[in-house]
Structure 1
Amino acid sequence: MKNIVACIDNSAAAAAVCDAAAWVSTQVERPLVLLHVLDKSIYPAKTDLSGNIGLGSRTHLMEELADLDIQRSKLALEQGRLQLDEARKRVEPLGVKSPELLQRHGHFVEALQDLQEDTRVLVLGRQGEDHESGLREIGGNLERVIRTLSCRILITPPSFNKPQKVLLAYDGSATAKKVLYVIARSPLCKGLPFHLLMVGENNQKNQQLLEEARKELLEQGHADVSTAIKQGDVESTLLGYQKEHQLDLIVMGAYGHSRIREFLVGSTTTNLLRQSEVPVLLMR
């Protein structure tokens, strides 16, 4: 059985990640794994000081600095364990039974890649603890995760409220149809009102595509489905519609169609994540 994996750190978004992951876990009835990664780029297991300090009489200083490195890593591991324990205490009252606590030492993205096969939804904060200088910035690790992993990723801002209404960005493409197929059948948003929004020209073809998507949601038991076509810049139009209708969750494909977008995080995705005040579920 695939798990819900929540990335826990010491960032301002950690509580929101716990709340979002607990919501996903209980909705889809999948086990929750609380993950803390001690990133090698921040806490190396061992530092090579031989090129910085001379030999002979300075050997004892090298040893002392190496010991400090070891102590620093041990403290970081202990801090991570405490963070995981606090996360456990937060998610259990939200209905999560016996969450698994998992700690890894390695590169953050590589650690997530190792777990990807058993991950149904990955839950991340918009910013990690090493990238909180600006509230509207997104962490570098987040961009790499989106670019590298193929699982579904839920990104939450520093606060999370249980979704009551969902915005599905839809353009009628093959990718959008796959996203629609999955989300329509998923228990994640079962029973919630849906707003289908297409950003483009309001013509007969697009109206027909939206109507077909609306019917698919209705057939899967979603009784309250609205559709709209808006013209304008994609991310500002999506976010403007979300705010106007007070929608609590944005669901969209992670990339555009071009091969460049398959290699890099698309500008629409990046800008939307940066500006969104609600969680965004990215589906590949």
Structure 2
Amino acid sequence: MTEQVMAAIDGSQFSEEVCDYAAWASLVLQAPLTFLHVNDNHLPPEERNLSGNIGLGSREQLLAELADLDEQRAKVAQEQGRLLLKEAKERAIENGVSDSTCRQRNGTLVETLEELQSEIRLLVMGKRGETAHQDINHLGSNLERTVRTLHRPILMVTGSFKRPEKVMLAFDGSKTTRKGVEMLARSPLFDAIPVHVVIVGAETGDHRSQLDWALKTLREAGHEAEGTIRAGEVEATLRAYQEEQDIDLLVMGAYGHSRIRHLLVGSTTTEMLRKATIPVLLLR
């Protein structure tokens, strides 16, 4: 099956932006676009075991009523998902994607994405889902688990769509970020977009040679590229450079299992995602 741009949508505040960025990526990559909505029919913990403290005579009736209620909720959730997918398809048409696919599944989002992983070229997700806490620095648990599970590029969307005009790559010379440089160099997604390569650390010979390699690779592929080495705390330094240079897309590597077992918690990756005000493309 042809790899596709897959957009995970729900009823969150980011769904429209997910649609817009996914449509843009689909057109630029000339890849099929699929919208995915997953119905998680698991009840919240506080709604379970309601029959445990009632008399035996009433329990059977209550369980039947709860089963009916579950069925009604499932039907409502399925219809809501169908409408969300319909609206997403219509929005994609407005954005120039004449033909997109809609898929509705039951289960959990992360397990579904893992099952569909071989079909994904790029996954587009919002910073938070519809059930997540709405604090501006809060990350949805689905995003964290998805980054831990999938080995595909993930574009995290944070706000209104803006066609990227300047891209920043957070570069540390690791295998993941070197692959990121090579991906940036050859991907149609970044054609004619200036690329800024930033190393956070001391000005050393090793850092300078790593930066020179990255810039050479990008320029040989036809990109306008510039780079810098800056000392400081990683998240704050990258954020300052982003604001200074008016960057509108950040590319960075996500930690793998071998580097950190409890993915994201306390890591630079988490901090960058939590405080991100622009889309972040995560590479594995």
Q: Same fold (TM over 0.5)?
A: yes
Alignment deviations for residues 102-149 of structure 1 (CA, whole Å, 9 cap, x no partner): 001101210110110110111000000001331110011111111111
Distance 1:12 1:154 in 2: 16
Q: 5 Å matches for 1:9-88?
A: 9-42=10-43, 51=52, 53-56=54-57, 58-88=59-89
Contact 1:197–1:227 (CA<8 Å) still a contact in 2? Answer: yes
Contact 2:5–2:124 (CA<8 Å) still a contact in 1? Answer: yes
Contact 1:53–1:62 (CA<8 Å) still a contact in 2? Answer: no
Q: Which amino acid aligns with 1:171?
A: D
Contact 1:147–1:262 (CA<8 Å) still a contact in 2? Answer: no
Match of 1:201 in 2: 202
Contact 2:51–2:59 (CA<8 Å) still a contact in 1? Answer: no
Match of 1:271 in 2: 271
Q: 5 Å matches for 1:92-241?
A: 92-222=93-223, 224-241=224-241
Match of 1:252 in 2: 252
Distance 1:26 1:48 in 2: 48
Distance 2:44 2:100 in 1: 26
Distance 1:63 1:219 in 2: 68
Alignment deviations for residues 143-188 of structure 1 (CA, whole Å, 9 cap, x no partner): 1111111111000113221111100111122221111111211111
Q: Which amino acid aligns with 2:248?
A: D
CA positional deviation for 1:55: 4.2
Query: Does the C-alpha gap of structure 1 residues 201 and 157 become closer, same or farther in structure 2, counting only changes over 3 Å?
Result: same
Alignment deviations for residues 204-236 of structure 1 (CA, whole Å, 9 cap, x no partner): 3322221111111111121x2111111111111
Distance 1:92 1:208 in 2: 46
Match of 1:280 in 2: 280
SS state at 1:25 partner? helix
Query: Does the C-alpha gap of structure 1 residues 57 and 244 become closer, same or farther in structure 2, counting only changes over 3 Å?
Result: closer
Query: Does the C-alpha gap of structure 1 residues 64 and 268 become closer, same or farther in structure 2, counting only changes over 3 Å?
Result: same
Query: Does the C-alpha gap of structure 1 residues 43 and 79 become closer, same or farther in structure 2, counting only changes over 3 Å?
Result: farther
Match of 1:4 in 2: 5
Answer with 201-210 or 133-142: which moved more.
Answer: 201-210
1:261 and 2:260 correspond? yes
Contact 1:11–1:132 (CA<8 Å) still a contact in 2? Answer: no
TM-score (norm 1): 0.93
Distance 1:4 1:72 in 2: 30
CA positional deviation for 1:82: 0.5
Distance 2:150 2:59 in 1: 46
SS state at 2:22 partner? helix
Q: Which amino acid aligns with 2:238?
A: L
CA positional deviation for 1:57: 5.3
TM-score (norm 2): 0.93
Contact 2:41–2:74 (CA<8 Å) still a contact in 1? Answer: no
CA positional deviation for 1:56: 4.1
CA positional deviation for 1:62: 2.6
Contact 1:121–1:154 (CA<8 Å) still a contact in 2? Answer: yes
CA positional deviation for 1:59: 3.0
RMSD: 2.1
CA positional deviation for 1:93: 1.5
CA positional deviation for 1:91: 1.3
Percent identical pairs in the alignment equals: 47
Residue-pair matches, total: 281
SS state at 1:136 partner? coil
Distance 1:219 1:262 in 2: 37
Distance 1:107 1:96 in 2: 28
Contact 1:160–1:278 (CA<8 Å) still a contact in 2? Answer: no
What are structure 1's unaligned runs of at least 5 residues?
A: none
Query: Does the C-alpha gap of structure 1 residues 225 and 78 become closer, same or farther in structure 2, counting only changes over 3 Å?
Result: same
SS state at 2:260 partner? helix
